[in-house]
Amino acid sequence: MGILSDGSPYLTLRGLARMCGVDESSIRGITGHWNDDPAPPRVSRIKKALSEQGFAKRLPYISIIKDGATHYACTDLVCMAFLEYYAFEARPAVKQAVDNYRVLARKTFRDFIYARIGYNPKAAEALAWERFHDRIDLVYDSVPDGYFSIFKETADVQLALIREGACPGCKFIPDSSIGNLWGKEWRHNNLETQFGPRVEYDHYYPESYPQHKSSLQGAQAYPDTARAYFKQWLREVYIRHGLPNYLRTKVADKTLSAPVATATLTAIQKSVGLAPPARRLPGSR
């Protein structure tokens, strides 16, 4: 068992087999026929239970490397679908699956795994806030007078991420994504002729970030006269289109869970008066 980088708890196929009270070969037999057409009855039943909760991935597990070996990780949604099958639909029912299902009905799967491995999600959230505050302390007075920084103007995005359960950090820097796209907007539309030149300022990262090693990270500050234009671009272009794409990349690389990504996107778009996303991000439920 363990925790993925996005905070999702998982069991390996061996761990899932032990929880369900069956041989690992039984679990591998199901996963091995996952994409058969037609699928075996037990595969169909488990896939149906998952699809009803919005799960539509090609495989029921994620390949991960741990201690130099490849393991197949099944997240809580998948594990509970397997457990429910062995507890209530398999013939005969597996007593250990029934017993474990009752335990997890009283204590959620997520809390069960967290407790077993000593993981504290509150500590992860506290670390995210600490990193955010450290960045504020380092850059709050470094922007020249008459200019604004992307980090300050987009703090609401990072606040929403943390409040919804994400943990921005050295591999998850939303203002960097926004800054890159805004820079393209600035150059493509030759906004310097309208608002004046942008200037580079010293942008420090906390010691906990690998970026700190390169000492100063030059960043662009933009004229205050462009602030209203930027705010409109942020709302109509980035939050409407760029942010969903950015969050999808973080879901794909396991930095962020799909439910947290969808909740964050909904919260941010609602805060600026945009309609909720028409569809959930892949993997949400």
Side-chain half-sphere CA neighbours of 157 within 13 A = 27
Strands 9-12 and 147-149 turn out to be unpaired
Is the pLDDT reported for residue 284 higher than 60?
no
Smallest Cα–Cα separation from 7: which of 257, 270, 269? 257
Q: For position 130, what pLDDT does the model report? A: 72
Q: With beta carbons less than 8 A apart as the criterion, state whether 215 and 191 touch.
A: no
Token pair 């980088």 is at which residue? 5
Q: With beta carbons less than 8 A apart as the criterion, state whether 191 and 229 touch.
A: yes
Q: With beta carbons less than 8 A apart as the criterion, state whether 258 and 280 touch.
A: yes
pLDDT in tens, 187-202: 999 999 999 999 988 7
Q: Rounded CA gap, 34 and 199, in Å?
A: 55
Based on its alpha-carbon atoms, the radius of gyration of the chain, rounded to whole angstroms, reads 23
Is the pLDDT reported for residue 109 higher than 80?
no
Smallest Cα–Cα separation from 270: which of 232, 226, 242, 239? 239
Cβ-defined contacts of 28-33 (< 8 Å, 24+): 30/60, 30/82, 31/59, 31/60, 31/61, 31/72
Rounded to two decimals, what is the model's pTM? 0.53
Minimum mean pLDDT among 47-51, 187-191, 213-217, 248-252: which range?
213-217
